[in-house]
Structure formats: C-alpha cells, structure tokens
Amino acid sequence: MDKSKLSYRIPSREDALQLLVKSGCEKNVIEHCKTVSQLAVKIAKKLKNNGFNVDLRLVEIGALLHDIGRSKTHTVHHAIIGANIAREAGLPEAIIKIIERHVGGGITSQEARKLGWPVRDYIPETLEEKIVCYADKLIEGNRQVPIERTIEKLAAELGENHPAIERIKRLHKEFTSMVDI
C-alpha cells in the first residue's frame, strides 16, 4: 500500500493495540482503553439502531487510541502528546481529533491558551468524537461508573464551577436523550 493512502487508513484493532504497546503505554492504560472502546462501541451501536449515522470502526479504534499520550504523561497534556504520536504514526485526522478532543468535555481555545497548547477549540464535534469523550467519562480504570462520580471527582479537582463540568453534563444529557445508557 502506498504511503499516501496509509494516512487515511483506520488501523485494525490489533495494529492499534500494538501501537499502544510500542508507544510505551502501561498495561493498566491499555486495559482502560479497551474498556472505553467496548463501551463506546456499545453506545455507537445503540445510536446506529436508533437511526444515527455513526462510524463504528472509527469509534472502536479512536477509543482504543484515545489515551495513547499517557505513554508519556498522565497530565491533561496527554491529549496533545497523543495527537502528535498519532500524527507521527500517519493515522487519519479523524482519529487524531478523537485523541485531541476527549479530555474533560473538551477544551476551549481560551483554556488551550492557558495550557500552552496550540490555540484552537478542542471540543468534540462529530458524533464519533462525542461518543469516545463520553464513554471515557463513564470508565474509571477498567470499570464503568455513574457519570455523577466523574462529575464529583472533576469538581473536587478543578472546582465546582469549572466549565468542563457543564460540558460533561451537556454530553450526558445529549446521549441520554438519544439512547438508553
């Protein structure tokens, strides 16, 4: 396959898992990614059954790779680092955006500036980006937790009035209005 086409190819599940290992992700991070992927696909299938146009393969692989940046850091910066790893690996832009946009309920351009990131919005836009972001908020380690637990933890960490909390609540409301989670 020629290199130009490779950049548009969504990797197989096996290739994605190998990329996590090759990048240096710890076993617990890989298990977390697998669990997020399972839940994200479950949500995506329910949406598809309800008539929504969703790319199941993109959701599965994007969710598997969403935390690839944790191979280098466990800070919020893992999203940007992960996107860079994905870019260097020649992954499609759709996967890169899932990785960049999964943190919290997304990051605004103002928040990106404060973090020292390239200044632009990192708010999930596509249905696939939103599914992965939301599924990640429902998984702690490798087990599913209620959204309220995630919100409580974030409020304790960031402050009760942090805008990320409202974005996560909106994501939750959006998904629970579309499917039974």
Closest by CA position to 64, among listed 38, 45, 26 = 38
Is the pLDDT at 4 greater than 80? The verdict is: no
Q: What is the DSSP letter of 12?
A: P
Q: What is the pTM of this model?
A: 0.94
C-alpha 169/C-alpha 4 separation (Å) is: 40
The dotted CATH code for 3-178 is: 1.10.3210.10
Residue 92 banded pLDDT, cuts 50, 70, 90: very high
Q: pLDDT value at position 8?
A: 60
- Considering the chain, what is the average pLDDT of its residues? 94
Output phi, psi for 87, to 5 deg: -60, -45
What pLDDT does 6 receive?
39
Q: What percent of the chain has pLDDT over 70?
A: 96
| Helix, strand, coil percentages, rounded to 5, for the chain | 65, 5, 30
Give the pLDDT confidence of 22-73 residue by residue, as tens digits: 999 999 999 999 999 999 999 999 999 999 999 999 999 999 999 999 999 9
Domain ranges, ordered by start, for the chain: 3-178
Q: Is 84 exposed, middle or buried (0-12, 13-18, 19+ CB in 10 A)?
A: middle
